[in-house]
Amino acid sequence: MTENDTVAQDAIATSRLLWDAFIPLAVIAVVYVALRSLFEQMMKLRVTGKANEWVLILNNGNLKMAGVGLSCVRGPFDQVAKFPSAVNRVKFSTEQVTKEMQGVQVEGMLVWSIMRTEDGPFRAFRNLGEDLTTGDPRTANDSLTSMASAIVRSAIANSTISQMLREREDLRVQIRKNMADVVQGWGVWLETVEITDVQIKSGSLFKDMQAP
C-alpha cells in the first residue's frame, strides 16, 4: 500500500466519523426546532383570563367552554371573547300620572351581573353587544333601565298617589318579577332592585299633603 493510498483511507475514515457525528446532531437540531415551533404555537393558543374576567371559547358561533378566570388551550380555529365579571349598578328615573291624574316621579337602581348558570355568559355576549367588554356596558344598561321604567310607568298609571308612596316594596317586587324571565334570556342575573325615591310632581298637591 502506497503512502497515497494510506492518506486516502485516512480521509475516508475521517469523513465517515464526521458524517456519523453529523447525523445525530442534525436530528437533534431538527427535533429541537420542531419542538420549539410547537411550543410557540401552543403558547399562541393558550388563553388565560383575569380573576375578574369572563372568558368564552367559541367555535363557529357555538360555545365550547366558559368561566371566570378560565385558563386553557384553545383550538386553532376557536375564537375568544373576554369581558368583566363585575357587578353593575345603573340608576333609572321615570314619570307618569296616577289614577287621579297627578304626576309622580320614581327613581331607583338596578344591580345586575352576568348569569353564571347554563350558557348565561354566551347569551349575554350574543345579546348585549361588544360593549360588555368595556367598563360601561351601555347596551345592557339602556335595555334594563328602559324595561324597568316601562314597568314603573304602568304601575303608576294603575295606582293612586297614596299607594305609590306607601307600597315601595310591592313596586320593587313587581319590577323584579316582571324583568326576571326576560333578562335571564339575555344572560343577565338581576341581583336586586331598589326604589330610592318617590316624588309627587304636582306642586299644589304636594303642599296640601305636607300641610298639618
Please, are residues 66 and 78 in contact by the beta-carbon 8 Å criterion?
A: no
Q: What residues have CB less than 8 Å from 200, skipping those under 6 apart?
A: 102, 103, 104, 161, 165, 206, 209
Looking at residue 8, what is its pLDDT? 52
Looking at residue 194, what is its pLDDT? 96
Per-residue model confidence as pLDDT tens digits over 158-207: 999 999 999 999 999 999 999 998 999 999 999 999 999 999 886 554 45
The mean per-residue pLDDT over the stretch 148-158 comes to 95
Looking at residue 206, what is its pLDDT? 47
Q: What is the pTM of this model?
A: 0.74
Q: How confident is the model at residue 147 (pLDDT cuts 50, 70, 90)?
A: very high
Looking at residue 5, what is its pLDDT? 52
Per-residue model confidence as pLDDT tens digits over 5-44: 554 555 555 556 555 666 666 667 777 777 776 666 666 7
Per-residue model confidence as pLDDT tens digits over 119-132: 999 999 998 877 88
The total of other beta-carbon atoms located within 10 Å of residue 184's CB is 16
The mean per-residue pLDDT over the stretch 75-99 comes to 92
Place of cell 383575569: 50
Per-residue model confidence as pLDDT tens digits over 53-86: 999 999 998 999 999 999 998 888 999 999 999 8
The mean per-residue pLDDT over the stretch 137-165 comes to 93
Looking at residue 149, what is its pLDDT? 96
**CA nearest neighbour of 49 among 64, 67, 69:** 69
